Amino acid sequence: MPNASRNAAASSDLITSLSGYELLADPLLNKGTAFSEAERDLFDLHGLLPPNIGTLEEQVSRRLQVLRSFATDLERYAFLRELQDSNETLFFALLVQNLEELLPVVYTPTVGAGCQQFSKLFRKPRGLFLSLPHKNRIEAILAHPRFDNVEAIVVTDGERILGLGDQGAGGMGIPIGKLALYTGCGGLHPATTLPIMLDVGTDNPDCLSDPLYIGWRHERVRGQEYDDFIDAFVQAVIKRWPHVLLQWEDFAKNNATRMLERYRDSLCTFNDDVQGTAAVATGTLLSAINVTGVPLTEQRIAVMGAGSAGCGIASLIRQAMTDAGLSDSEAGQRFFMVDRDGLLVEGMEGLASFQQPFVQQKSAVGGWTLDHPDKIALLDVVRNAKPTVLIGVSGQPGAFSEPVVRAMAEFNKRPVIFPLSNPTSRAEATPEDLEAWSEGRAVIGTGSPFPPLTRNGAKFKVDQTNNSYIFPGVGLGAIAVKAERVTDAMFMVAAKALAAASPARNDPRSNLLPPVTSLREVSVTVALAVALQAHKDGLTKGVDTDQIEGLIRAKIWAPHYVPYSRTKSSAV
């Protein structure tokens, strides 16, 4: 908030030089009808607002009634985006108080439609659109004083939005949504967050032919020119904010892992698709052990979708297996990665470097019975390898077919099945089908929310195995202690912290994950584990362990209005 500051004599007060329409137009400062009579006098607001003086609680109630009156979630999404752009305190108060209801609207699955319709829904700029033709202006753009307080950035290039593919500039909906969860679930002050869209063009013909498309109307740039643009951005970020947290989001699989490896030792950064997805899947699997009784060292994991997300999941689970006592080679043999060309087997052409650790030896599958000898499909894997766990990150609806699920149920008393692809339309199977095809025995986790199942005559919520259980806490912990890097060890402790909070630990009939309504508490738990790991690894400076919890809680902002004072200074 470059036009506002906290009053040193009264830390709860805020001083601003803005007044009148300018004050009401600033979403970080606007209170709407909740400006007091004295503030209306002080800031020349009489006549610009209706005379009734309201409260935040009344505003939340009013907006909730309007929100619920809409017919579709996309309408609700558009309404909430406009609310965020007009009054952030009210937006986040509404979100925090109604997390379970609004999480699917603010983020998955509705954010996918929001990205597809982003150009049509665009009303007011939020964050930064950095386009390749303006590569030489990046430093100047980031230098504006309005960004002085930034501590967390989420960035995308829009190429692989959820399971929907290239959405070009419409991909900006993802950083906006993720950072809304950083505040709603993790407590970061919205003034410290910055969504960024790196616009390098798009190969989506619908975008290029749409007269309303707001992005750079150019085919997607690749190769060295792309790498140079990304590097210019990263170096500008490091120069501007030496301690910022940079989260990569929804890059194509080859770029996602490649950029992570290139920059992970240069600043505090991580890729949520690779590492956040891995942590929530690992944490949920560790929780499922309380239900199935199958030790981690005896699990066999089949993953449908061997991209950066799938291999990220496999890597973290494999590390958990070695932590539990298996050798690295023993653990590696327990993974069966299935992609568009079938099971990854030695000798396949075009395998990425991050896929190599999970390639099965030909000798291990030589005696398998196959439906088609030229390709080892998912059903072949399930019938021959008899996996205990089936994870989907393929974006292919229906990939977990009835024969696949029934085969899983044939070989496992309680098969663990996680169709994690987002949005809902891209899920590998619905919980209802999994429940029916497994005769009610499947242990289910989904990436997006689904309606409850009926078990033993009672409603049973489906666990939403979503990254929102992980990344807000990881970011909160890293920022609170100014961690120099984000490591795989930090994601491992995040996964274990999530598993430790599982209701199923005390009752195997309960859910694997805490309720969505407790996400702010879960984020604090994860943040504490992450910050302690960062301290253990020597990635913090001048921080003692007994300070860590206090530093974390000091970063947590609760949406509320504070009194304002006015200064005539043009900048404070």
Binding site feature residues for (S)-malate: 160, 422, 466
Which residue, among 300, 238, 302, 311, has the nearest Cα to 275 in the 3D structure? 311
Which residue is it, tokens 């805020």? 14
Quick check: is 178 catalytic?
yes
Which residue is it, tokens 């196959």? 370
Q: What CA–CA distance (Å, rounded) separates 377 from 374? A: 10
Distance of CA 478 to the CA centre of its chain: 16
Q: What CA–CA distance (Å, rounded) separates 423 from 162? A: 7
Strand partners, 154: 195, 247
Quick check: is 107 catalytic?
yes
Strand 564-566 to 14-16 pairing: parallel
Q: Which pair of tokens denotes residue 547?
A: 């300070």
Selecting among 31, 178, 496, 555, the annotated active-site residue is: 178
CB 478 within 8 A of CB 448: no
- Binding-site entries: 160, 249-250, 273, 422, 466
Which residue, among 206, 259, 270, 202, has the nearest Cα to 233 in the 3D structure? 259
| Secondary structure (3-state) at 442 | coil
CB 566 within 8 A of CB 15: yes
Q: Which amino acid is at 532?
A: L
Phi, psi of 303 (to 5 degrees): -120, 120
CB 314 within 8 A of CB 301: yes
DSSP assignment of 31-70, as one string?
Answer: -GGG--HHHHHHTT-BTTB-S----HHHHHHHHHHHHHH-
Which secondary-structure segment (H or E) carries 253? helix 253-263
Selecting among 31, 77, 107, 564, the annotated active-site residue is: 107
Q: What CA–CA distance (Å, rounded) separates 250 from 422? A: 12
CB 501 within 8 A of CB 522: yes
Distance of CA 117 to the CA centre of its chain: 20
DSSP state of 372: B
Q: What CA–CA distance (Å, rounded) separates 244 from 96? A: 25
Q: What CA–CA distance (Å, rounded) separates 404 from 414? A: 14
- Binding-site entries for a divalent metal cation: 249-250, 273
CB 170 within 8 A of CB 115: yes
Q: Which residues are catalytic?
A: 107, 178
